[in-house]
Chains A and B, each alone.
Chain A
């Protein structure tokens, strides 16, 4: 299947700092990528849709000024958690759909575990 990578796989930071997470599609182009967050023993929560060349669209309740998304190329989307706080500690996962329609399937990156001290 398609391969999606994320970097870093884990990060520990101090409260108040910003953290950037990269998501790359390695063997296909992705005009759209999705960012999810998952707290321990809870289900995936979609945070936002990253759109190449345009602004990201955020799900209800997700602060766009706190979670900055940049989709600068057809293979790279970045999520920056600004002024991180302990409550932002979570498992962040990106995914990208392949083409063509209607057989879109989404492949997930390995995830980034963020711990904010």
Chain B
């Protein structure tokens, strides 16, 4: 059974600081990794995807992948109150499915 583990939080970060979200996955053969943001009452929104070891940057977001450690992280620089949401880590599964973690609640303190 493929699993994705995340700390449920809440993670509280002061406005303007760096928020660091972490995720581990069980299947060493996983190839694709995703971060989704979900606001309360809304559906998940894709923020980043990463396939190769190392860092991938997009604006204030940086995804980091370490396949040897089976670890994925998301850094949010210059955190804003609008970044307060639940962040879902996901990895590819069989048959085009995506395996989601339970999500980490992030709260940016004004």
Contact = CB atoms under 8 A, between A and B. Distances in A.
A109 B32 CA distance: 21
Nearest to A33: B96
Contacts of A46: 97
A92 to B, nearest CB: 10
Secondary structure dominating the interface of A? strand
18 contacts: A32-B96, A43-B101, A44-B44, A44-B100, A57-B95, A93-B43, A103-B51, A104-B32, A104-B92, A104-B96, A105-B32, A105-B46, A107-B46, A108-B36, A110-B42, A110-B43, A111-B42, A113-B41
Interface in B94-110: 95-98, 100-103
Interface of A: 1, 32, 34, 43-44, 46, 49, 57, 91, 93, 95, 97, 102-111, 113
A108 B31 contact: no
Contacts of A43: 88, 100-103
B34 interface: yes
B45 interface: yes
Interface centre among B42, B98, B100 (most CB of A within 10 A): B98
